């Protein structure tokens, strides 16, 4: 029986060797790390990267790309990842990183995320949601409702509905890339269906949100985004 216990404890590890046919993905991944020359190549690439001068991103450079760009930070990441607009359907714009992690935004409201840990499938919000529709801080509605959909059983997935109350905070001078901006701190205090969170947005006078910390799920938590170049249909 002790052997049975041990075997079950090892099950997960042993599962790595199970294959439904062909080369196992775990074996593949390990092989890529340990195959002859892999370590030397990785060290060489690392040294090359370290030797390169750091790239300074400016608004001018971003403008020159002609792309809509956001920067996202998840978890303890301090540098952030650039995501570029890849598709636009109606008012929903999907941004993708080089590794094809994607975020879909309606205005500045994150309505979906993919491949960054735990997917948020979709988000419905009220038509007057000021995060989705640029709205000067003084005109923000008192409350909106939102329905988050997450991966789960059945086509609808797991639905979490919240009500969000907006609270206007003090002004805030935001240093972003090579510029500074005068913004107003707006809080969105949301609760419902067993969750409670506070989103924070730094909003310019014309309603454009430049930086935002938003909740994208009970497992994923918060993500911080900078809207470096907003999407337009021009």
Partner 1 sequence: MSVSFRLIATTALSFSIAPLAMAQDFAPSFGLLGSTGIIDMPSAAMQPDGETSWSFINNGASTGGVLNFQLLPNVEVSTRIITLDDWTGPGLSFPDNTLDLKLRLLQERGNRPAIAIGLRDFLSNGPTSAEYIVATKSIGDNLRVTAGLGWGRLGSYSPILSFGTRPAVDNTLGFGQMFAGDAALFGGVEWRTPIKNLTLKAEYSSDAYSGEQVFGDFERNSPFNFGAEYRLGSRVSLGAYYNYGSEIGFRVSISGNPNRPITPQDLGVGPAPVNVRHPDYNRDVSWAAIPQVRDKMVGLLAEGLKEDGIIVQEGRISGTMLELYIDNTKYSRQPMAVGRLARVLATSSPPSVEVFRITLMSDGLPTTTMEINRADLEAQIDRPNAGPDSFASTGFSSAPNNIPGEGVWVPDAYPKFTWGLGPVIPVNLFNVDSIGEIDLMVRANARYRLSRAFGLNLAVTQKILGNIGEGAGPSLSPIPHVRSDAALYDNSGPVLQRLTADYQFKLTPEIYARVSAGYLERMFGGVDAEILWKPSDQNWGVGANLAYVKQRDFDNIFGFQEYETVTGFASLYWNTGWNDLEAQIDMGRYLAGDWGATFSLSRRFTNGWEVSAYMTLTDVSFADFGDGNFDKGISLRIPLDWTLPFESRSATTVTLAGYGNDGGARLNIANRLYPTIRGNDTTDLYETWGAYWQ
The footprint of partner 1 on residues 149-178 (CB under 8 A) is: 149, 151-158, 169-174
Dihedrals φ, ψ of 205, to 5°?
Answer: -60, -30
Tell me which residue has tokens 């419905």. Answer: 124
Q: By CB under 8 A, what part of segment 38-57 binds partner 1?
A: none
Q: With CB under 8 A as the rule, give the number of residues binding partner 1.
A: 77
**The token pair that represents 157 in the structure block:** 């997935």
Listing DSSP states for 143-192 in one string gives EEEEEEEES-SSTT-EEEEEEEEEEEEEEEEEEETTEEEEEEEEEEEEEE
For partner 1, give the closer residue by CB, 15 or 141: 15
- The residue among 114 and 143 lying less far from partner 1, judged by its C-beta, is 114
Tell me how far, at minimum, the Cβ of 13 lies from partner 1, in Å. Answer: 9
Out of 5, 49, 55, 64, the residue judged to bind partner 1 by CB under 8 A: 5
**Residues 177-206 contacting partner 1, CB under 8 A:** 185, 187, 189, 195-198, 200, 202
Q: Which of 12, 40, 47, 54 binds partner 1 (CB under 8 A)?
A: 12
Strands 81-89 and 69-74 come out as antiparallel
Contacts from 102-106 at CB under 8 Å and sequence distance 24+? 103/70, 103/72, 103/223, 103/225, 105/70, 105/225, 105/231, 106/132
CA pair distance 27, 19, nearest whole angstrom: 10
1 is a site residue for partner 1 (CB under 8 A): yes
| Choice between 135 and 146, CB closer to partner 1 | 146
Q: Which is nearer to partner 1, 168 or 196 (CB)?
A: 196
The DSSP H or E segment spanning 70 is strand 69-74
Contact 133, 114 (CB under 8 A): no
Cβ-based nearer residue to partner 1, 8 or 38:
8
Residue numbers 69-108 binding partner 1 by CB under 8 A: 86-90, 92, 94, 96, 99-102, 104
C-alpha 184/C-alpha 186 separation (Å) is: 6
Query: Is position 208 an interface residue for partner 1 (rule: CB under 8 A)?
Result: no
We find the least distance from the C-beta atom of residue 116 to partner 1, in angstroms, to be 7
48 vs 90, which CB is nearer to partner 1? 90
63 in contact with partner 1 (CB under 8 A): no
Residue selected from 117, 136, 192, 230 as contacting partner 1 according to rule CB under 8 A: 117
Strand partners, 222: 215
Instruction: Give the nearest distance from C-beta 161 to partner 1 in angstroms.
Output: 12
């Amino acid at each position: 029986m002790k052997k049975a216990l041990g075997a079950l404890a090892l099950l997960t590890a042993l599962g790595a060797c199970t294959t439904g046919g062909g080369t196992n993905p775990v074996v593949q991944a390990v092989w890529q790390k340990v195959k002859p020359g892999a370590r030397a190549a990785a060290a060489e690439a690392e040294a090359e990267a370290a030797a390169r001068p750091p790239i300074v991103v400016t608004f001018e450079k971003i403008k020159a790309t002609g792309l809509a760009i956001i920067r996202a930070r998840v978890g303890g990441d301090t540098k952030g990842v650039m995501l570029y607009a890849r598709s636009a359907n109606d008012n929903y714009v999907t941004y993708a990183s080089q590794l094809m992690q994607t975020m879909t935004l309606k205005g500045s409201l994150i309505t979906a995320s993919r491949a960054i840990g735990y997917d948020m499938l979709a988000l419905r919000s009220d038509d007057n949601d000021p995060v989705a529709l640029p709205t000067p801080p003084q005109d923000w509605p008192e409350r909106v409702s939102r329905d988050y959909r997450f991966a789960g059983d059945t086509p609808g997935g797991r639905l979490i509905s919240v009500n969000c109350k907006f609270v206007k905070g003090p002004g805030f001078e935001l240093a972003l890339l090579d510029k500074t901006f005068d913004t107003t701190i707006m809080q969105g205090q949301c609760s419902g269906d067993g969750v409670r969170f506070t989103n924070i947005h730094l909003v310019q006078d014309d309603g454009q949100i430049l930086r935002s910390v938003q909740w994208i799920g009970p497992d994923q938590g918060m993500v911080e985004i900078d809207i470096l170049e907003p999407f337009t249909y021009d």
